[in-house]
A = this chain, B = another copy of it.
Amino acid sequence: MTMTTSIPTSHHDLLDSKFATIATIGPDGRPQLSEVWFLADDDTVRVSLNGQRQKTQNLLVCSAVNLFVLDLANPLRYLELRGNAEVALDADGGFADRVGAKYDTDLREMDDPGDERYVVTIRPRRVNAVDLSAE
């Protein structure tokens, strides 16, 4: 295990993964987890969330967040990114389109009329890069 503030090169490939698990803190102080798409720019990771989702509401109240990127081909290897989420309205849907381009889909087709999109930005304060298969 390597606990740092930046993502070690040994785990950089995981930033190109398609899926990550996001953990937020619910109104009851308990962890809530779900699977999300994400985009990475260097060590900064961003997620596009529909404002109606519980995880979005959680982050607007408590910014503590954890993004967990598992190597699906080797689940003994993963990246845990701990930090605060900056939540900003994606008013023109520009960020949703950037995420959509990665996944070759239109995120806003999943939304109901009137739903708003948010950009959730995570700049990790603690990075936990694990590879138990290498130990």
B-contacting residues, A52-68, CB 8 Å: 64-66, 68
In the complex, are the beta carbons of A31 and B130 less than 8 A apart? Answer: no
Residues on the B chain within 8 Å of A30, using CB: 25, 64, 66, 82
Residues of B within 8 A of A76 (CB): 35
* A66–B35 CB distance below 8 A: no
- Provide the A119-135 mask, 1 if CB < 8 A to any CB of B, else 0: 00000000010101000
Q: State whether the Cβ of A33 lies closer than 8 Å to any Cβ in chain B.
A: yes
Taking residues whose C-beta sits less than 8 angstroms from the other chain, chain A's interface range is 20 to 34
Chain B nearest CB from A34 CB (Å) reads: 7
* CA A93 to CA B28, docked complex, whole Å: 34
A66 contact from B18, B33, B72, B78, Cβ within 8 A: B33
Choose from B24, B35, B65, B82 the contact partner of A78 (Cβ within 8 Å). B35
Chain B residues positioned under 8 Å from A21 (CB to CB): 21, 33, 68, 70
The 3 closest A-B pairs by CB, nearest first: A23-B31, A30-B64, A19-B75
